[in-house]
Structure 1
Amino acid sequence: MFLSQDKGALSIRVNTHNYQAFVAQVKQLWKNMSPNEHFEYSFMDEDFDAAYRSEQRTGKLFLSFTTLAVIIACLGLFSLAAYAAEQRNKEIGIRKILGAGVSTIVAMLSKDFIKLVFISIIIATPLAWLMMNKWLQGYAYRQNIQWWMLLSAGAGALVIAIVTISSQSFKAARSNPVDSLRSE
């Protein structure tokens, strides 16, 4: 138990199960020692919970908007892959007639998109590190950002892009080349 110099606070460490009786006893002692001062109390765990509740809400909000942004980005990437496959429909048909396999065609269609994802990872990684580092400076006890966290985020983005693109690429690679070349 110690009396702090700031704001007339008294901090007491408690190891009991009957808080109400203990609070009543401390209130009585407070009135005896300082009858003109109002007695207010709070528990430190509740104070910490209130202090970090806004951070938890912000985290949930960011998670919701991040999920929505990833879904919208996947839809855009899917439509771009469909458009690229449609634009190269005759090229794919000719390549299949000349003996190209499904894996070759999928790699050909996915290569340009994967390059763009790598470029975006290279641009976003330092920016994310700077922003996270600045955000973490506001905490007394903070965790440093490890390199593997940024690497796993980039790998996750790459996997999401590959899964999104591959469905459209496989569809284009498995199509009948006669259908795409019939109009010629």
Structure 2
Amino acid sequence: MLFHYHMWTPFVEETERFYEQLGFQVTQRIGKQDGVFTSFDPPLDWEDFRHQQILFRIVEMKRGAINITFGHGKKIIFDHIGFLVTEAERVVTLQRAETLGWTVQANERRTFIQTPYGFRIELQTHLDAIESRSGDQLLQLEIATPKSGLAAMLHQLLERPVPEITTSAAERARLTQVTFSGNHADAAHQQDPNGVEVVTVSGVQR
């Protein structure tokens, strides 16, 4: 199940505020202060630390079956997408990735596959990465890449069609549009601070 995407951005606070207005809740903030990684999780808010010198490594936000993360970067960079899988699915997917010659990075918490399309794919087996399987869902991502063949690659990697990922051409990999299910009618079509078109579709479940 597609559930996640991650970006680097110079607009960390603005991005958090944008998704907060769409009903997402902050579940984690980790930032580097004076050379040390420190937690700034809720109930702390930006008023508590805005004027401190903090470089946020990750801000995590959840809504239903959707998980979004972002961290501070000098420019906007699309980093990875994530699929929630079983352990058995993770194992066979990694075998297919290795057959394709792609680099795999794995630890106890997350597994990443480096694709030749300018972004990574995360395989997540822990259900606490989302609030609820039955909640709002990440229905579709549109990814622009400089290399053709992404749809076929995903089909080969996951051994199924992947209609939840659509593609277009660009000079560099970037996330252009996301579609959520939900009942936020007042936010049916907006653009986040990173130029991503955010579409909300009511009453749709995958």
TM-score over 0.5 (shorter chain): no
TM-score by length of 1: 0.21
Q: TM-score, normalised by structure 2?
A: 0.19
